[in-house]
Structure 1
Amino acid sequence: MLNHSLLFLNLGTGELILIMFAILLLFGGKKLPELARGLGKGIREFKDASSGIKQEIEDSMNNPEPSKKEQQ
């Protein structure tokens, strides 16, 4: 799956290693776990929010409420 998501970037193994090395140099070894944890938490919150919105849309499509014009 990683290959499919990075396919449009056209990055090879060498480029990915270079990017990881640059990140390691910029942030240092002690900060990387903290950054990864924060990134994972952000991605998880985004997925939860998007699945919640998707569920609300599906619920409204399955159980449409009558509009105010139809009620009057």
Structure 2
Amino acid sequence: MNALAIFLGVIGPMQVILIIAIVVLLFGGKKIPELMKGIGTGIKEFKNAAKDEQPANSKKEEETKEKE
């Protein structure tokens, strides 16, 4: 952890402000909400797929155990 902190340095409030300013300059004020909405939708879909996948896997395991 210490080596990583030394390599990257400590991120302070000025660095965060600089990063936010660069993002605003690159994407513009109108694109940022659209970008965040897309990221949120993607995360939500991923969580739903992960929840749906778990019961399907357990059913398949039970079926294979019954066949043996």
Which bracket does the TM-score occupy, shorter chain normalised?
0.5 to 0.7
Q: In the TM superposition, what is the alpha-carbon distance from 1:60 to its structure 2 partner? A: 4.7
RMSD, matched Cα: 2.4
Q: Which aligned segments of 4 or more residues in structure 1 are displaced greater than 6 angstroms?
A: none
Q: Percent identity?
A: 43
Structure number having the greater helix percentage? 2
**Structure 1: segments with no counterpart, 5+ residues:** 1-8
What residue in structure 1 maps to residue 27 of structure 2? Answer: 27
Q: Given the two structures, how large is their TM-score scaled by the length of structure 2?
A: 0.62
Q: Given the two structures, how large is their TM-score scaled by the length of structure 1?
A: 0.60
**Structure 2: segments with no counterpart, 5+ residues:** 1-7
Provide the aligned length of Structure 1 versus Structure 2.
58
